[in-house]
Amino acid sequence: MDHFRNPRNMGEMKDADAIGEVGNPVCGDLMYIYIKVKEEGVTEVIDGISFQTFGCAAAIATSSMITELAKGKTLEEAAKITRDNIADSLDGLPPIKLHCSNLASDALRDAIKKYREKKK
């Protein structure tokens, strides 16, 4: 509940390097994950991350948590964050809300994919 009541890294990032977007037409949740990437030699690190989520408390909490989990990670490390990592970090989610953690990890992977495509 803390990540719902006091979300971390919430808000649009105007100078994002990439924006991941996912939605669930069944429940109506919509998530945007914004990333800023810093190149450290050949390594690319998530230097800044934020989110905008339109949805339920679980959707907001999972979006907040994934930003905390991904900040400072390499793109490879961040892309490996799973729904279980998110749910465990939130001390669990009701089974009916596990799809929210899927959305959050999918949105981050979408942002990473778009960043890599843009760099090519």
Going along the chain from its start, the domains and CATH numbers come out as 2-119 (3.90.1010.10)
Is residue 29 classed as helix, strand or coil in its secondary structure?
A: coil
Element (H, E) at 50: strand 43-54
Position 95 scores a pLDDT of: 80
* pTM score above 0.85: yes
Residues catalogued as catalytic = 27, 100
Calpha distance 76→56 (Å, rounded): 29
Indicate if the pLDDT at residue 1 is higher than 80: no
Q: Going by C-beta distance under 8 Å and a sequence separation of 6 or more, which residues neighbour residue 83?
A: 98, 101, 102, 104, 105
Q: What is the pLDDT of residues 33-82, one digit of tens each?
A: 999 999 988 899 999 999 999 988 889 999 999 999 999 999 999 999 99
Surface-to-core class of residue 8, CB atoms within 10 Å of its CB (0-12 exposed, 13-18 middle, 19+ buried): middle
Residue 4's CB: how many other CB atoms inside 10 A? Answer: 16
Rg (Cα) of the chain, in Å, rounded? 13
